[in-house]
A and B are shown apart, each in its own frame.
Chain A
Amino acid sequence: DTEVTQTPKHLVMGMTNKKSLKCEQHMGHRAMYWYKQKAKKPPELMFVYSYEKLSINESVPSRFSPECPNSSLLNLHLHALQPEDSALYLCASSQDYPAVTGELFFGEGSRLTVL
Chain B
Amino acid sequence: RKEVEQDPGPFNVPEGATVAFNCTYSNSASQSFFWYRQDCRKEPKLLMSVYSSGNEDGRFTAQLNRASQYISLLIRDSKLSDSATYLCVVNPGGGSQGNLIFGKGTKLSVKP
Contacts and interface: CB of A to CB of B under 8 A. Distances in A.
A59 interface: no
B97 A98 contact: yes
A107 B44 CA distance: 9
B102 A43 contact: yes
Contacts of A2: 43
Interface string B73-112: 0000000000000010101000001111011110000000
A108 B89 CA distance: 19
Contact of A48 (B32, B98, B103): B98
Interface residues of A, number: 21
Given A42-B103, A98-B91, A103 B46 contact: yes
A60 interface: no
A58 B38 CA distance: 23
A99 B93 CA distance: 11
A2 B42 CA distance: 10
Contacts of A102: 32-34, 46, 49, 89, 91, 100
Interface string A22-62: 00000000000000000011110100100000001000000
A50 to B, nearest CB: 9
B43 A100 contact: no
Interface of A: 2, 40-43, 45, 48, 56, 90, 97-104, 106-109
Interface of B: 8, 32-34, 42-46, 49, 87, 89, 91, 97-100, 102-105
